[in-house]
């Protein structure tokens, strides 16, 4: 590694030139990477709800729909608006009363089946079918254009509209997320670093791996909007440690050598070896998300693990080149470090380990119980601002038509007419079902559906399936809707064993069932991976237990707080936070344990070693942890999306809790359990010849 380090130092201008040139394909790749705004598309494709969704998309062109509620508009104006809407690129069809009968007929003279589905009070309903899936660019653009066509008396709702609203909101807020994260992190770094120029160099150095990460996402095909919004903030917070470690090592080597190039080469070599375990635990934590059946976990996990790996690579290549290039300017702009070493905290912890651990254990009891009872929600629309066009329009559907959630039922096309009608009647009897409709049910008796226009006939039957629409008064993601879907599924399977139910409600129900299992799998996988890496690093059985237990206790406290405050968490936050907080902050624990071992090797007794380790590690942990906190708390403060707000709030709070646990609690554990560590660790030092005071000036 030393030979490579010297090569980087001596050819630093070439390194920077190559780094800048690589930004070109990175920017092109980032621009070409598709962003997916529909979380439900990440469900396993073999589920009935996803099979049904594929049939709706491929056969019925119904996988992406929008519903327009129109109030008090004259017939002629409505027909003209409908015609204009159908001319929008990406719109397959706008279905209304005029497609099946004379629209001039007064609503009260229409058959009840038609009146029930198309009229609600003074409002009427139009169904917009798009030619591409809801999260596609074609549909997003079409929805945006339709918003400009619809009059003030129209309300536009449905999944396609809400996804377009989400895209517009994320695109609008994304620059603010980055500005807040960078600005807050710079503020902390100005307090933590000896030079006012260093934080700027750190941010410039981190720009490269962040852009490389975005660019290489192109090879994944697409990433979710959650991954896009979080990756910059998390990568900045998680990989800042490596930059701080490199600079501190460089300053240390400069005191030993007058040659700055030699000092930097040694710093690169030593930093690479010291951050290997640290980065591997972080990468392992993120890769644990890939064990989720919900593919969103793989999406976040791969992108973030890749970001950490790129962060390490750029820290030992680009950042040293920047520091050496601007070394004179760095030296001229030095100031006093304002983030202190916590000497008194180290002394207090070393003198009172027993009482501190006793109090902490008592505190952990209620938080351990609380974290398992924290309320979680799965209704994704609840995490969006309620004044969005799609949310307002969807609520209007609920008020006027009782269409809180729509179920799409697909059965075999060969099902007899009597059996088909019997199934529809049975579904109407299910509690909470407000409407059951099919195109054939809207037609006059004896009318041949084959005589309908192609677009309308497709709504009745396509791809070997018949379609039934059932509207529910229950909200997606609730226990009531889950029970309703179970009852409906029994009726459908009894009539047609191959029949399926799909739609937002059915997919959300599957999401809930999968997420509960994923939560357990991800926690086990992340803990096991981090445990194994620490075990191999320290060649110890007990050290991994202590370090992982320390971070897990911080996670329990973090996840228990919402229970006491009465807050609800989005389901993805409860899954992601465990791996993110474990992978990102276990570095602090590794740093503390490593310093404790070094002080024991220097001959200090456990009490003195714990005190010194706490004192000298506290400044680095505070700098790193506060930077991580700053990078995420700003996003939590400004985001209008409850999903991103909740995740960032948990991460920022988790950074503070982990800092406290590692600085105060872990040294007490290491001090008291040193005899156990010695018996369960290879080559653990035994020396106890010095007291703490002997090394305070070292």
pLDDT score for 698: 42
pLDDT of 459 reads: 67
Highest mean pLDDT among 259-263, 393-397, 436-440, 650-654: 650-654
Confidence of residue 444 (pLDDT cuts 50, 70, 90): low
* Top-confidence range, 300-314, 412-426, 462-476, 511-525: 300-314
- Could you give the CA distance from residue 680 to residue 541 in angstroms, rounded to a whole number? 6
Q: Is the dihedral of CA 429, 432, 433, 434 positive or negative?
A: positive
Across 401-428, average pLDDT: 85
Q: How far apart are CA 474 and CA 697, in angstroms?
A: 68
Return the percent helix, strand and coil in the chain, to nearest 5.
Answer: 70, 10, 20
The pLDDT value given to residue 642: 85
Q: Is 95 helix (H, G, I), strand (E, B) or coil?
A: strand
Report pLDDT for 19.
94
CA distances in angstroms from 248 to 237, 256, 695, listed in the order given: 18, 13, 20
Q: Give the Cα separation of 205 and 247 in Å (integer).
A: 12
One-letter-per-residue 3-state SS of 179-192: HHHHHHHHHHHHHH
**How distant, in Å, are the alpha carbons of 26, 366, 575, 627 from that of 559?**
37, 12, 11, 21
| Helix, strand or coil, per DSSP, at residue 562 | helix
Residues 6+ apart with CB under 8 A from 131: 61, 90, 91, 92, 138, 139
Residue 695 above 60 pLDDT? no
What are the φ/ψ torsions at residue 248 (nearest 5 degrees)?
Answer: -60, -40
- Could you give the percent of the chain with pLDDT greater than 90? 33
Q: What is the pTM of this model?
A: 0.84
| Of the candidate ranges 430-434, 519-523, 545-549, the one whose mean pLDDT is the lowest | 519-523
Beta strand extents in 159-300 (DSSP E only) = 222-224
Other Cβ atoms closer than 10 A to 351: 12
Q: The tokens of 390 are what?
A: 């799609």
Position 471 scores a pLDDT of 85
What letter would DSSP give residue 156? E
DSSP 334: B
pLDDT of residue 542: 94
Question: Distance between CA atoms of 320 and 272, rounded to whole angstroms?
Answer: 12
In this prediction, residue 399 has a pLDDT band, given cuts at 50, 70 and 90, of confident
pLDDT band at 694 (very low <50, low <70, confident <90, very high): very low
Query: What pLDDT score does 447 carry?
Result: 54
> What's the CA gap between 263 and 268, in Å, rounded?
9
pLDDT of residue 443: 57
Q: Write the pLDDT tens digit of every residue in 198-212.
A: 889 999 999 999 999
Asked if the model's pLDDT at residue 445 lies above 60, the reply is: no
Indicate the helix (H) or strand (E) that contains 467.
strand 465-472
Query: What is the predicted pLDDT for the residue at 460?
Result: 67
Instruction: Say if residue 175's pLDDT is above 80.
Output: yes
Give the lowest-confidence range in 108-122, 129-143, 609-623: 108-122
Which of 451, 430, 426, 427 lies closest to 439 in space, CA to CA?
451
The CA distance from 134 to 62, in Å, is: 10
Q: What is the C-alpha to C-alpha distance for residues 249 and 263, in angstroms, rounded to an integer?
A: 9
Residue 54 burial (10 A CB sphere; 0-12, 13-18, 19+): middle
The mean pLDDT value for 406-427 works out to 87
User: 3-state class of 494 per DSSP?
Assistant: helix
Q: What is the pLDDT of residue 691?
A: 55
Where are the extended beta strands (E) located within 1-88?
34-36, 65-71
pLDDT at position 17: 95
Rg (CA), the chain: 30
Mean pLDDT, rounded, for 459-477: 82
pLDDT per residue over 176-231, tens digit each? 988 888 898 889 888 888 888 888 999 999 999 999 999 999 999 899 988 988 88
Reported as a pLDDT band with limits 50, 70 and 90, residue 689 is: low
- In this predicted model, which residue has the larger pLDDT, 657 or 689? 657
Per the listing, tokens 């110890």 go with: 540
Q: Is the pLDDT of residue 697 over 50?
A: no
Average pLDDT over residues 254-269: 85
Q: State whether residue 503 is helix, strand or coil.
A: coil
d(CA 429, CA 435): 10
Q: Which of 685, 650, 491, 632 is nearest to 570 (CA)?
A: 650
Residue 82 pLDDT: 92
Give 564's pLDDT tier (boundaries 50, 70, 90).
Answer: very high
Mean pLDDT (whole number) for 658-686: 92
pLDDT at 552 over 90: yes
DSSP string, 659-682: HHIIIIIHHHHHHHTHHHHHHTBT
| pLDDT, tens digit (0-9, with 9 covering 90-100), for 2-44 | 788 888 888 889 999 999 999 999 999 999 999 998 888 888 9
The overall average pLDDT reported for the chain is 86
- Report which of residues 351 and 579 the model is more confident about: 351
Alpha helices in 257-291 (DSSP H): 260-287
Burial class (CB in 10 A: 0-12, 13-18, 19+), 172: exposed
Q: How many angstroms separate the CA atoms of 56 and 63, rounded?
A: 5
Instruction: Return the pLDDT at 683.
Output: 85
43, 511 in Cβ contact below 8 A?
yes
Domains along the chain? Answer: 1-32+193-338 (1.20.1640.10), 48-163+391-475 (no CATH), 341-379+507-698 (1.20.1640.10)
Place of tokens 């690169």: 268
Tokens read off for 435: 């409407």
Task: Please tell me whether residue 122 adopts helix, strand or coil conformation.
Answer: coil
How far apart CA 471 and CA 479 sit, in angstroms, is: 17
């Amino acid at each position: 590694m030393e030979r490579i380090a010297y090569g980087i130092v001596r050819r630093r201008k070439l390194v920077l030139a190559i780094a800048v040139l690589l930004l070109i394909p990175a920017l092109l790749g980032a621009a070409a990477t598709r962003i997916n705004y529909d979380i439900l598309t990440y469900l396993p494709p073999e589920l009935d709800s996803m099979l049904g969704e594929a049939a709706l998309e491929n056969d019925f062109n119904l996988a992406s729909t929008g519903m327009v509620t129109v109030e008090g508009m004259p017939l002629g104006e409505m027909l003209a608006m409908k015609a204009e809407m159908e001319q929008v690129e990406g719109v397959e069809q706008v279905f209304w009363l005029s497609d099946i009968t004379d629209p001039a007929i007064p609503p009260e003279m229409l058959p009840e089946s038609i009146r029930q589905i198309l009229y609600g009070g003074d409002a009427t309903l139009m169904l917009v079918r798009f030619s591409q899936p809801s999260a596609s660019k074609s549909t997003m653009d079409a929805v945006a254009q339709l918003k400009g066509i619809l009059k003030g008396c129209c309300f536009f709702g449905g999944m396609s509209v809400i996804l377009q609203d989400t895209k517009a909101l994320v695109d609008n807020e994304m620059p603010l997320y980055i500005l807040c994260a960078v600005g807050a992190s710079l503020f902390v770094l100005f307090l933590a670093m000896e030079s006012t120029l260093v934080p700027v160099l750190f941010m410039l150095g981190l720009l490269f791996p962040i852009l490389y990460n975005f660019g290489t996402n192109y090879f994944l095909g697409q990433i979710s909007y959650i991954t896009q919004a979080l990756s910059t903030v998390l990568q900045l917070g998680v990989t800042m440690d490596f930059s701080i470690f490199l600079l501190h090592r460089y300053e240390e080597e400069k005191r030993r050598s007058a040659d700055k190039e030699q000092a930097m080469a040694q710093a690169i070599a030593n930093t690479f070896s010291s951050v290997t375990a640290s980065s591997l635990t972080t990468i392992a934590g993120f890769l644990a998300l890939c064990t989720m059946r919900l593919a969103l976990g793989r999406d976040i996990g791969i992108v973030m693990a890749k970001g950490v790996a790129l962060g390490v690579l750029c820290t030992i290549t680009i950042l040293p080149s920047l520091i050496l290039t601007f070394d004179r300017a760095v030296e001229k702009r030095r100031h006093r470090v304002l983030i202190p070493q916590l000497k008194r905290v180290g002394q207090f912890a070393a003198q009172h380990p027993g009482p501190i651990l006793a109090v902490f254990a008592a505190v952990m009891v209620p938080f351990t119980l609380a974290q398992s009872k924290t309320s979680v929600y799965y209704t994704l629309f609840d995490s969006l601002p309620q004044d969005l066009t799609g949310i307002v329009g969807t609520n209007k559907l609920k008020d006027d038509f009782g269409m809180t959630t729509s179920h799409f039922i697909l059965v075999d096309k060969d099902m007899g007419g009597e059996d088909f009608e019997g199934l529809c009647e049975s579904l109407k009897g299910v509690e909470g079902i407000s409407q059951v409709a099919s195109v054939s049910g809207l037609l006059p008796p004896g009318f041949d559906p084959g005589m309908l226009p192609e677009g309308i006939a497709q709504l009745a039957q396509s791809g070997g399936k018949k379609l039934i629409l059932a509207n529910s008064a229950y909200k997606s993601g609730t226990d009531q809707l889950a029970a309703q879907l179970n009852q409906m599924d029994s009726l459908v399977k009894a009539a047609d064993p191959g029949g399926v139910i799909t739609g937002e409600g059915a997919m959300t129900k599957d999401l809930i069932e999968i997420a509960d299992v994923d939560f357990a799998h991800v926690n086990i996988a992340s803990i096991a991976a981090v445990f194994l890496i620490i075990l191999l690093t320290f060649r110890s059985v007990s050290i991994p237990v202590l370090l992982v237990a320390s971070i897990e206790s911080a996670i329990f406290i973090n996840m228990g707080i919402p229970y006491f405050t009465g807050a609800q968490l989005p389901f993805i936050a409860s899954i992601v936070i465990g791996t993110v907080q474990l992978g990102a902050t276990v570095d602090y624990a590794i740093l503390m344990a490593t310093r404790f071992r070094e002080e024991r090797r220097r001959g200090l007794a456990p009490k003195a070693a714990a005190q010194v380790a706490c004192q000298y590690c506290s400044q680095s942990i505070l700098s790193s942890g506060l930077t991580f906190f700053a990078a995420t708390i700003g996003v939590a403060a400004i985001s209008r999306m409850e999903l991103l707000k909740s995740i960032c709030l948990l991460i920022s709070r988790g950074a503070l809790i982990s800092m406290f646990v590692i600085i105060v609690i872990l040294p007490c554990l290491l001090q008291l359990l040193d005899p156990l560590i010695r018996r369960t660790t290879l080559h653990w030092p035994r020396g106890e010849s010095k007291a703490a005071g002997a090394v305070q000036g070292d």
